[in-house]
């Protein structure tokens, strides 16, 4: 089958605009089959090898079933870096890039070393970018999932940042004895009631990275503040991505821990999703 014929099949089967179909098709060509998409225009009769044709059509079936393109190509761009991702970790979101930028902007003129821990790190994108962009940040990535830590380690090898990896369960009674100057986290924060509101493609992402325990939407924030009470140095900072649907409850939770200062920020969608807490 020719490269143009396969392009037209994508256009026929995907319920998207031609522009969106073409974008997906070109990504599949380039990242899965290592075929330069420019051939569509320059050599439309170019015959795709049978093994690549099968891969292209199989990919189309998955996409029609809302399988995330990022998992399909095992890659997601985050803050200018192409991170390895699979079904063991959450796909990084653009609002999380805003959280990273906030941290980097606040520490742009940092002198000396600042010890940072990324809690519930998933793919490691937050901590790795911080480490890559600011050499004065001594970053530790942590997660409860062994599979997520494997993805973290793979990204560590790809980008060669100076980060450490540890397994850490925020629900554990065991104490962690390291002290940090800055805590950052994008923990599981969706309530089960929101399960029907999220996109069909999200069903392929790990529930452990998406959902808080039933009837306890702020569970992990409480655990993070408990962790901070013993592991955050004096005058330390916490940067979090939060659920905008629970701002009032989040404020009530915060009041129990007596922070020195709290700053909320809206994301690019105008939702209050980011917070910086000073202790």
CATH 3.40.50.150 for the 78-278 domain, yes or no: yes
C-alpha–C-alpha distance, residues 225 and 105, integer Å? 23
| CA angle 72–76–78, rounded 5-degree value | 175
Per-residue pLDDT of the chain (279 residues), as tens digits, is 999 999 999 999 999 999 999 999 999 999 999 999 999 999 999 999 999 999 999 999 999 999 999 999 999 999 999 999 999 999 999 999 999 999 999 999 888 999 999 999 999 999 999 999 999 999 999 999 999 999 999 999 999 899 999 999 999 988 898 999 999 999 988 877 665 666 677 889 988 888 878 888 899 999 999 999 999 999 999 999 999 989 999 999 999 998 889 999 999 999 999 999 998
How far, in whole angstroms, is CA 141 from its chain's centroid?
13
User: Would you give the DSSP letter of residue 74?
Assistant: T
User: Residues 221, 251: contact at Cβ < 8 Å?
Assistant: no
Q: Measured in whole angstroms, how far is the alpha carbon of residue 170 from the centre of its chain?
A: 19
Give the CA-trace dihedral at 133, 139, 144, 149, to 10 degrees: 60
Going by C-alpha positions, the residue among 162, 164, 169 that lies closest to residue 143 is: 169
CB atoms within 10 A of CB 208: 17
Phi then psi for residue 107, to 5 deg, are -115, 25
- 77, β-bridge pairs: 82
Phi-psi sector, 80: left (phi>0), alpha (psi -120 to 50), beta: left
Give the Cα separation of 15 and 21 in Å (integer).
8
Question: pLDDT, tens digit, for every residue of 220-249?
Answer: 999 999 999 999 999 999 999 999 989 999
pLDDT confidence of residue 212? 78
Domain residue spans in the chain?
A: 3-65, 78-278
């Amino acid at each position: 089958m020719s490269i143009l014929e396969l392009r037209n099949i994508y256009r026929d089967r995907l319920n998207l605009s031609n522009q969106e179909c073409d974008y997906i098709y070109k990504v599949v060509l380039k990242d899965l089959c290592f075929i330069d998409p420019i051939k569509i225009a320059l050599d439309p009769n170019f015959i795709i090898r049978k093994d690549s044709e099968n891969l292209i059509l199989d990919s189309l079936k998955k996409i029609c079933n809302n399988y995330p393109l990022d998992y399909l190509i095992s890659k997601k761009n985050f803050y200018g870096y192409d991170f390895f991702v699979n079904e063991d970790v959450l796909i990084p979101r653009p609002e999380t890039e805003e959280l990273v930028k906030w941290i980097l902007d606040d520490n742009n003129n940092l002198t000396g070393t600042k010890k940072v821990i990324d809690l519930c790190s998933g793919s490691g994108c937050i901590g790795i970018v911080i480490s890559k962009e600011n050499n004065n940040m001594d970053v530790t990535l942590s997660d409860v999932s062994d599979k997520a830590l494997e993805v973290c380690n793979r990204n560590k090898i790809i980008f060669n940042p100076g980060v450490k990896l540890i397994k850490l369960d925020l629900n554990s009674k065991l104490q962690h004895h390291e002290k940090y100057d800055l805590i950052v986290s994008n923990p599981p924060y969706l309530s089960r009631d929101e399960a029907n509101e999220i996109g069909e493609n999200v069903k392929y992402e790990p529930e452990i990275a998406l959902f808080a325990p039933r009837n306890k939407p702020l569970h992990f924030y409480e655990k993070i503040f408990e962790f901070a009470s013993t592991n955050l140095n004096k005058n330390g900072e916490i940067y979090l991505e939060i659920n905008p649907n629970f701002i009032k409850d989040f404020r009530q939770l915060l009041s129990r821990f007596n922070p020195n200062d709290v700053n909320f920020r809206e994301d690019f969608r105008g939702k209050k999703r980011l917070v910086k807490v000073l202790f």
